[in-house]
Structure 1
């Protein structure tokens, strides 16, 4: 991308920057024509080289234009790149944007878990899903996506109570994984569990309950869905009862870890079992 193709902006109220205005308070990810904001070089690089979502525009601090020249060469010709002085960018965004790198993406249609499983049914071979129910914390959702990507999960399924993995912070915490890893979002946790089982997946409901089977004693099935509940309350009784309850062994007197950590431990165990000869 030639440097002269960047469009300079010197007014914070420029209508072309509307998507970037006060992004801390804005929810762009819901509703018709939903968009999302990408922040930072690492996630922009992921979006350009691996992402599955269309970019609508880029917004850079002027000081970042030259250092990012090689990456900007990969921006599609129909995606405008707006460049502003740092103080103008900070005013538009609503807080100091030290990274100086933003992009706006088009969310498009995200399927419900049942529809996703119907459309992407695998014909053979091992498959691992990470399923999330009731996770409303952006950091935890982002971390779960990062763990799913690291340990070879094929997709992440979320019920409608989960927050959107395309929130700015969730994308950043996921290290960009939510920009390329397939996912589905919506409906109830029960619908999600039943859809996975109907598609041939064994569902492990992760819980600290003493009567649950211990991770490591179970055979890893060809098609496995690992189900995690919200930090604090965990999974509700009906979802645990509908699946195979599984617990991670821990020291006496301590029975839980962060939900993303629990997911990482379980995913790593499954990944190792699948990699073993």
Structure 2
């Protein structure tokens, strides 16, 4: 159902008002999908329920083939009205309010993976660009799942989804309490775990994964906690003299490519 909107204070589109501020305070388990690629992906997934769309007139034309089949209200506004609703110039002109499936139990998620599955573990990563980039790399190189500790930011935050090009809607993920909890769960599920560190004991190029494998990444700067590094075999990516580290999303791409190639 296509519904015109002329007033930024229209109560029907309250969930889209001041998008950035609402992103920060939370959406009661829902998320905002932005742009054509992400919206089409969200609409194609039966486990992600599209609750409403807010489109500019041009955005509605771009999704004209999709709209008739949607079981959700579609609000269409002139570009100036849409900008006033969301609180900034939104050039893509396409937003969707989506309800994702319940988060899976970490043990159940790991238990259901294949014997040769590759899993990514993230600890303390609070930058949405990095989380989105890691999810994109995980999808591109066939990682089966991602575990995040309680300190990591939300992969379903609007910017993380956009940077991931929708991969955070595709790659299964679950939350664990902390690094120790992550290691316990991976060990119980039969995963061989490796931690990435600039001072890692083995070069990544020398590592040959076998069976279920998990690779752990920490936040930029401090990296992974010292106690976790002490308890886990470590890998490094050698670099030119005078330079000791890469962006964590870039690192994940290199590591996951290496695992996929093996």
**TM-score, with length taken from structure 2:** 0.94
Find the counterpart in structure 1 of residue 73 from structure 2: 80
Deviation per CA, 1:216-251, whole angstroms, max 9, x where unpaired? 212212101110000111101011122111111212
Other-structure match for 1:244: 233
1:15 aligns with 2:11: yes
Structure-2 residue corresponding to 1:260: 249
Whether contact under 8 Å (1:86, 1:100) holds in the other structure is: yes
> Which of 46, 65, 70 matches 2:65?
70
Give me the whole-angstrom Cα distance separating, in 2, the residues matched to 1:64 and 1:124. Answer: 40
Q: Are 1:181 and 2:171 counterparts?
A: yes
2:195–2:217 Cα contact (<8 Å) kept: yes
The alpha carbon displacement at 1:187 in A equals 1.1
Correspondent of 1:118 among 103, 108, 132: 108
8 Å Cα contact 2:203-2:236 kept in structure 1: yes
Task: State the SS of the aligned residue for 2:174.
Answer: strand
Stretch moving more, 261-270 or 44-53: 44-53
Aligned to 1:97: 90
Distance change in 2, residues 1:52/1:13 (3 Å): same
| d(CA) in 1 for partners of 2:185, 2:110 | 12
Q: Which runs of 4+ in 1 moved over 4 A?
A: 28-31
| Range with bigger deviation, 117-126 or 130-139 | 117-126
Partner deviation per Cα, 1:162-193 (whole Å, 9 max, x = no partner): 00001110000000001121111241122112
State the match for 1:153 in structure 2: 143
Partners of 1:217 and 1:249 in 2: CA distance: 11
Write the distance in 2 (CA, Å) between the matches of 1:51 and 1:262: 33
**Residue 29 and residue 119 in structure 1: after superposition, are their counterparts in 2 closer, same or farther (change >3 A)?**
farther
Displacement of 1:6: 0.6
Give the CA deviation at 1:35. 1.4
- 1:119 Cα shift? 4.5
Match of 1:129 in 2: 119
Aligned length: 262
Q: CA deviation at 1:123?
A: 6.9
What does residue 42 of structure 2 align with?
47
Distance 2:99 2:112 in 1: 27
Check the 8 A contact 1:34/1:108 in 2, yes or no.
no
Which ranges of structure 1 fall in alignment gaps of 5 or more residues? none
Equivalent residue of 1:26, what SS? Answer: helix
Q: Deviations over 1:84-125 (max 9, x none)?
A: 1111111110001111000001145324xxx32335414753
Alignment partner of 1:197 is 2:190: no
TM-score when scaled to structure 1? 0.89
Q: Is the 8 A contact 2:43 2:49 kept in 1?
A: no
- Compared CA separation, residues 263 and 74, structure 1 to 2 (3 A): farther
